[in-house]
Each structure stands twice: as C-alpha cells, then as structure tokens.
Structure 1
Amino acid sequence: MRARLIAVGLFALVAAAPALAQVSDGVVKIGVLTDMSGPYADNVGAGAVLAAQMAVEDFGGTVNGAPIQIVSADHQNKTDIGSTIARRWYDTEQVDTITEVVSSGVALSVQQISREKNRIFLATGPGTPDLTGKACSPVGLHWAYDNYAYANVVAGAVVRRGQKDWFFLTADYSFGHALEEQAARVVKSNGGTVKGSTRHPLGSADFSSFLLQAQGSGAKVLGLANAGTDMINATKQASEFGLTQGGMNIAALLVNLPDINALGLDKAQGLLLADSFYWDMNDETRAWSKRFMERFGGRAPGSLQAGVYGAVMHYLKGVKAAGTDEAKAVMSEMRKLPIEDFYTKGAKLREDGRVVRDMYLLQVKKPEESKKPWDFYNVVATVPGDEAFRPLAEGGCPSVAK
C-alpha cells in the first residue's frame, strides 16, 4: 500500500506540471533576426524588437510556467551572416523560434536551417512568395504580406486606371526579382506592357544611370521593385531628374509607413500602395500603436513591426495549447487557433504556411489633408485575402502537392 501511495504521489507531481517539463531547457527563447543598420532598419530594426517584447509582456512573461526571453541580432542583409547567427542560436543558445528576417535571401536560408533543426520560423518581414512556394516548410509561417499580394493590389489598381506602359527599377537580389516578376505578371494580365527593366545593387546611392534608362524607355509608369532607403532614394532622384514632371508616374510596389515619413508628404502625395496594416485605421490599431509610440520616441509602427507582435503572440498561444515548444506540435496548434487581434481579423494559416489576410489599397494624403503626426494614408479599398494572395494550388509547395 505504501509503495502504491508513493507511486500515485509521483504521478500527481508529474501530471501537475507537464508543460514545463516539455519546454526545452525550461525557457522559451525567441530570436528577432533583423536589419538593425541597413536600408530596412527604419521599417523593422529596433521597432521589431520592441514589438516582440510587447507581445511577451502582454502574454504575461511566461508560458506553461516557463519564462519567455527575447534575443536579437543584425543580419546586415547578408545571407552568410544571417545563416551563421541562426545556426548558433539553434545549436548553442537554445533559441526555439526565429522571427522577422526582412531580407528575402536571408529568410530563404533561415527557413531551410529552421527546417533542418525542427524549429519554427515566423517570417514577418521578407517578401518572397517562395517561402510558401517551392521553398515551403512544415515549420515555416509567412505572416504579414508577400510580393504576390502587393503586386496584385498595387499594379492591378494602377493598370486599371489606364497607366499601362511600365518600366521596372529592381533591387538586384531575390526579393526584387520576385517583386518585379509578380508585378509584370499583373501588368500583362490586365492588358499592360513592360517596356523594359534595369537592376541596381542593394543600398545604392546614385540611381542616375538607371533613371535615364527608364526615361528613355517611353514608359508611363516607373515600377519600383525595391524597398527601404533604395525606394526612398529612387523616388527622390526621379523627381530631381524630372521624370515625374515629364509625365512618368511612380508605382512603388513595397512601401512602409516610415518610408513616407522619410520622403515627406510633399513628394509622396498621391502615391498608391498596398499594406496589411495601418496604425490609424480604427480604435484597436490606434490603442496598440499609442503604446508602441510611447516607447519608441513617438514613431508610429509600420506593418512589419506590428506583424512581429502578431506572429510572436500567435506562436506563444500555440506553445501554450501544445504544452510544449516542439516545433511540429506547436505548428499544429497554430493552424487550429483563430488569428484575431488588432492587426488581423479573420485570417487563417494555410497548409503551405501562408497567413491569408485582408490587404488594403492605400493612397498617400496631400500635406493639407494630414491633421496630426503620422497621418499619412487614406484607405481606398479592402482586398479580401483570397483575392490578394496566390491560390494554394498555384504555389508549388511540395508538401501541398503530395
């Protein structure tokens, strides 16, 4: 009888705290791998780290009795550096999941490493749709947007307004190539023509030769398949070279809120763009953004920063529901759980890892329309997620094909 009581007692102790025993190393560690110093730093960077910290705080600081920790690093938009950090985090620092990774090239590498190590990758910043296509992963999630959706929303709207002859100025790496490819597809499918394209290195300061090629093409639309400071500098120099005064319109295919702040409303006014979030959209977005701004020097969050909060929060909900931080078990729960917060309404996590959410066609206000700091956009249209994102059957994800 005594032995039986001891056995029952031991079972009760184990049953009382199963979750903590299932958390590797007794800590849930989240790595924010981002651009802290390069062309995308304003769009992600320290703001992305803050958003992750806010998610942990709002979740309560622990999950299933285990503390939650945030670590961060700068991948410098270099695949070798990002890959080295990811492997070190997984192999020696017990990081359970990596998030953000704005560079598409770095993200594709981190997704493959995460798959090899059986760790969840919460991609919020990169644009390449290959993350849910040919490079998809059973433990990979693409949260905020992708180039397919942006091209659908922006290029489609511009062409349907009668601006059909395009020339592309493209960042010369996987993100830019994919963005141009998707936009060109939309232009042509809507009856438009691509007059030509040229590619520039990441972090270019002088766009003069590229803009002269665009000017000489006879195109009516300059499609900017780049982002961050590259997009800002190209837009400013296009104005300085007289492209816009000469009748060429600029379609910036990937714009974040801090980019408009850097450009100024006088130069950005009238610009059509797509995004998955705007801080001043409703009471919920304003309430969260106010908290963010109080801790971030008054700067409003862009979609990529807010997206980190949403992805981290959903991951923690998955860990709680699974009772473990084992990747496949957590991913299974994340697919079941509803995605509902200030940022996301009625979204679903698809089999290929794509979070299918509504996208918004936005237009930059005129300076006289802006009534307060960061009051930059009018919402022109809401595009349902099933219309904005690539259909599951067309993505080429091997696990879905099977």
Structure 2
Amino acid sequence: MDRGPPRGFLLPGFVDTHMHFPQVYCTDSYGGGQLLEWLERCIFPAEARLADTALAQRAAIAFCRRRIAVGTTAAMVMGSAFPQAQEALFTATRAAGLRMVSGRGVQTVGPRSAEPLLTTTERAIELCANEIQSWHGDELTDVALVPRFSLSVTAETLAALGELYDDVRADGVYFHSHLNENARPGTGEVDATLAAYGVGSYLDTYDGHFLPGSRKGGATLLGRRSILAHAVHCQDAELARMAATGSSIAHCPTSQLFLGSGTMPWRRTVASGVNIALGTDVGGGDEWLLTRVLNDCFKVHMSEPGPAAVSLHPAELLFTATLAGARALDREGTFGNLDAGKEADFLVVVPDRWEPLANNLFHGIRSDDERLADEQTLFRLLMGLREPAISAVLVRGRDITGYLHSDR
C-alpha cells in the first residue's frame, strides 16, 4: 500500500548566491526600462538613503528577518557603499545567527543619481581593506571584494582591486560582481562594457585583461571563491575560463524575467563545466524564497527554444539552491546537504501549515512507481513551498527563528 508522502520534511538550508542588502526595500520598483534605466531611476537613489545610520540599521534587521523567514541560511550579499550600513549588516547577521559573505559595493564612476555612492579608487581600497580586517574570518561571516559591475568602476579601480585581492586571496576573501546580464544591442550593459573598456569579452575586465584590446592590466579576480551573477550572454570562451578557474555563476532567472535580461542557456552553460548556483537578486528579483526562484528556473528552461529546452529534474533543482551554492562559497564540506559530519544547516517544513501545499502533496496524483513517486513529491514540495510552511530554520544546529520576533 502507498504510504503517501510524509507529514513533514527536512531540507538543507537554502544558499542564495546573489542578493543586494541595500535593495531590501526595492522589490517591485518600476523604472520604465531595463537594467541600466532601472538602476539610474530606482536603485541608485534608494541605495543612497542608507547613508542614514538609523535607516541602515532598520534595513539590516529587516534583511536578516526576511532571510530567516524564507530559510536562506547562507548568502553572498552585495553590500552598501556606506561603512556604517555594512557595519549594521554584519552586526545584525551575527546576532541573527546567519551565514553571510558580503562586501561593500565599490563604485568610482556613475550617473548623477549614483553620486552619493561614489568614492575615489584610493578610498574604495581603504574601505575594503578595513572591512576585511573587521569582519572576515568569523565562524558566520566573511568578506568579498565587490565592484558593482565593470561600468561602475574604471581600469584603475580594477587594477587596484586586483592588487588587493592578490594580498588577501590566501586568507579566503571572496570576489563577487555581475557579468553579461543585459545584452540590449548598442545601449545595454554588455555592449556598453565592451565599448567602455575596448575589450573582447566582459569577463576580460575581471580577469586582469581590462586594457583596450584585452591587454593585461592587472591581476585576475577569478578563482574558487569568485561568484559572477547572471552570465546570461556569455561567449564560449568566457564559460570555459570560468570553469577553468573554478569560478561560479549565480543564476538569477526571476530578476532576469523582471528586467527583460533574457535566459541563461542551461544546457550550454552546464556543458562548459562551470558551477551553477542560484540567486534571488533581491531587489531586481521580487522573490525572497529560493524555491520561488526555482519555479521560474524550471519554467524558463523548459521554454528555451528547440533542442535547448530542458525539463530540470527535481533533484537538480534542489541541488542548485543548496549544495551548488555551498560549492560556490567553497564551503560544500561544511554545509549544503544533510550528509553526516556536516554542520546542521536545515529547514523543517510542515506542509499542513500551508493548506495548498498540503493538498497537493497529500491528495495529488502519485505514480505507482516508487522512484517516480518520490520525484513527484520533491517537485511538488519545491514548487509549492511558501513561507508559512517553514516551521524552523537551523544554522549549525541552532534554531534561529526566534530572531523573527526579537527587538534587535
């Protein structure tokens, strides 16, 4: 007799490899255009507000509470330009008991709306070095070097970041930025980057080849602790180089839909050998719960044209939101699944707390084939999961849901 699915589930803690702290209040922001217009009209002005220390502290607490509510136990977080906001974020993260890698968003050039976020290259390097000294290497927090994207900095800035990274790479510092997100002909991010630097590929700018003609100008920023978000419009050589250096992609299908950025070609990207993890890209992405991003992931790749289309297996979806993220953070030996010996980062899911999920799991069609029935159960669990069904979130074996109701 079919016993049916269990009444509760344990899932590995979700690992979000691309989200923006200073955009905690920016989901569903309408900018009347695609990426670059949205940044200029909505995001840069919103991020500038975190110069207010009190607002930054409220935002940091809200950010951590949202992460707990959706079961994101570890994350790579693009940080604020303002040191006091980053201090608030690291402080709140440690108080909440969450895992995080973050770095201040480095911008040395930009449009008028970004002016409050800009520093000189020298000041940017000083602030990054201070952040590493203050917050890197804790049991829960680490630091990344985070140029916002290549259009937000100059060749001088990239050279200086490369020198700093050479000095701190052995200490486990990370690198994080955006890559090949928007390819609108002529005026999109990719073409604008190639024109601004005179390079043959966007990735060259992070690989030390940021001088005109892709000539070498400094040290590479790629490596096992380097995560590049989006990678929608990569050349084959870029994918091969990321794979060869052990760099990872943070795949962000929800924000790519929201901003009209296109779809990362799944089969071609997987075939390159590069590790693909998952990112919400909050606030370009308007979903905090990584299984909602998996829902978009499944749909967009099922809808790729012709032979590129793929029906992603439920186990592959779960892997992308968990162990692939731990691998991107170079921590798969510590967390990312429920293997014996790993630290206990996991969620307790009780479907009866969310009636639509319970109904689908317990009353939906199940195959007579036991293996297929298990796959159907996992798929329904991932696609139908909502926040109310998450009853506990544990990091290193400690339930951290109490932070949701604390006064910190």
Q: TM-score range by the shorter chain?
A: 0.3 to 0.5
Question: What is the TM-score of this pair, normalised by structure 2?
Answer: 0.33
**Computing the radius of gyration over CA atoms, which structure comes out larger, 1 or 2?**
1
